[in-house]
A = this chain, B = another copy of it.
Amino acid sequence: MAVGIGVAGAGTVGGTVVRRLVEERELVTARTGLELEVRRVAVRDLKRPRPFTVPRGVVTAHVMDLVDDEAVDLVVELMGGLEPAGTLVLAALRAGKPVVTANKELVAARGPELVRAASEGGVSLLFEAAVGGGIPIIRPLTETLAGEPIERVLGIVNGTTNFILTAMTESGGSFADALADAQRRGYAEADPTADVSGADAAAKAAILASLAFGVWVAPDQVHREGIDRIGSEDLASASRLGYTIKLLAVAERTPGGVVARVHPAMVPLAHPLAAIRGATNAIFIEGPSVGELLFAGPGAGGEPTTSAVLGDVIDAARELLAGAQVAPRIRFGPGSVGAFDAVPTRWCLRLDVEDSPGVLAQVAAAFGDAGVSLQSVWQDGRGDRATLLLVTHTAAESAQRAAVSALEALPVVAEVSSAIRVEGE
């Protein structure tokens, strides 16, 4: 029995998904026994050329046709954005049609509502492609590791910023040059805000945290810092101390609750994440039984993302044919979101200070007063000014910030030119 597929959105990913569903129909049937048939494709602009060939009448401009059309058994949402994607996904789930989506923004913003609708409809909501592009990460997290009390998820989940940071590291150039290069090569969008500000990574961190710990974390509960203030001097300082800089997403279980955060971090050169170049993504999952698991691969792009979407479509179709009510794979239990302030962090600071006797003593005293101790200090005099590079020991995030505020208030400190957390040691 064939399963009728309705696809919403025929852009980079949507177009590739339809093309491959059509082209690889026989491969899928041979490997899974399923017959997948594209029966409706909702596009925004009916006149735009499309990278796939489907029979006359399959293409529609009306998204809600996918819900109403009885020939559509399963909906694939690849429009992106909150609306009309949200209305479509909720309606489809409530109508008992399983949904596959790559829409991290929607899943992060309305996760519990979507999961509830899937549960009410007795069907699956699958979104493997929402995090890590082609890397299987959602399924391992929700299924293979369902019995593991996960402690931490940490990784590089945004390809654009990793491409920019890699380019800056390897060329020694500025953020603006690296961004322009990424835009030229199609790794960054014309408006790069969502990537550069860390918003895209924060949506993914929210999803990873929610799935790993079974406690819903909303995107605005993720502490977020982007990479737009990272300069070539920061990368030079990092390199001098044996680090490189990566935009990390971290989700962890803390005594105060689940904490998720996205920010640039100094990562030791020997750490596996330091070797993740260009648009690649890499995610570590840590648990008491399983130790450290690493998942890495292409984090974006039409083809890898399509691969994840197809896997979900096959899975959902298989369940649909089994004909039973589907028990939800995802549940959110009791538990709370904790404050980042209490999380232990380490910092690397670059200070522009007066080069005079007693300055280091004043700086050290500011740290001591805030309850932060120093691990290493590196001083470089340049006439009447000096640069101080400091790496702290671990202390509560709030203490580290108090130390920075105290430093900024010191007359001998001209500027705290950079303050970047250290992870992975």
Residues in A lying within 8 Å of B, measured CB to CB = 20, 24, 27-28, 30-34, 128, 134-136, 139-140, 143-149, 214, 272, 275, 282, 287-298, 303-304, 306-308, 310-315, 318-319, 321-329, 331, 333-334
Contacts and interface: CB of A to CB of B under 8 A. Distances in A.
B331 A30 contact: yes
Contacts of A328: 33
A298 B290 contact: yes
Residue of A20, A135, A144, A275 with most chain B CB atoms under a 10 A cut-off: A144
Given A310-B146, A322-B326, A291 B298 contact: yes
Nearest to A296: B294
Contacts of A329: 32, 318
Helix, strand, loop or mixed for chain A's interface?
Answer: mixed
Contact of A147 (B139, B311, B321): B311
A306 B291 CA distance: 12
Nearest to A287: B307
Nearest to A134: B290
Given A272-B275, A313-B147, A329-B318, A294 B293 contact: no
Contact of A143 (B146, B298, B315): B315
Contacts of A294: 282, 294-297
10 contacts: A24-B147, A24-B149, A27-B147, A31-B333, A128-B144, A134-B290, A140-B140, A143-B315, A145-B311, A147-B310
A326 B140 CA distance: 20
A136 B293 contact: yes
Contact of A145 (B282, B295, B307, B318): B307
Contacts of A319: 322
Given A33-B328, A128-B144, A289-B303, 19 more contacts: A20-B147, A30-B331, A34-B327, A134-B290, A134-B293, A136-B140, A136-B293, A139-B144, A143-B311, A143-B315, A144-B307, A144-B308, A147-B307, A288-B303, A289-B307, A292-B297, A294-B296, A322-B327, A323-B324
A163 to B, nearest CB: 15
Contacts of A318: 327, 329
Contacts of A290: 134, 297-298, 303-304, 307
Nearest to A322: B324
Nearest to A308: B144
A118 to B, nearest CB: 13
Contacts of A149: 24, 27
Contacts of A334: 30
Contacts of A324: 322-324
A386 to B, nearest CB: 38
A31 B146 contact: yes
A193 B41 CA distance: 56
A32 B146 contact: yes
Contact of A31 (B134, B214, B288): B214
Nearest to A139: B144
A304 B292 CA distance: 10
Residue of A136, A147, A307 with most chain B CB atoms under a 10 A cut-off: A147
A286 to B, nearest CB: 10
Nearest to A334: B30
A32 B119 CA distance: 12
A145 B306 CA distance: 10
A147 B310 CA distance: 5
B307 A148 contact: yes
Contacts of A128: 144
6 closest residue pairs by CB, A with B: A147-B310, A324-B324, A144-B311, A136-B140, A136-B144, A293-B297
Contacts of A214: 30-31
A289 B13 CA distance: 12
Contacts of A310: 146-148
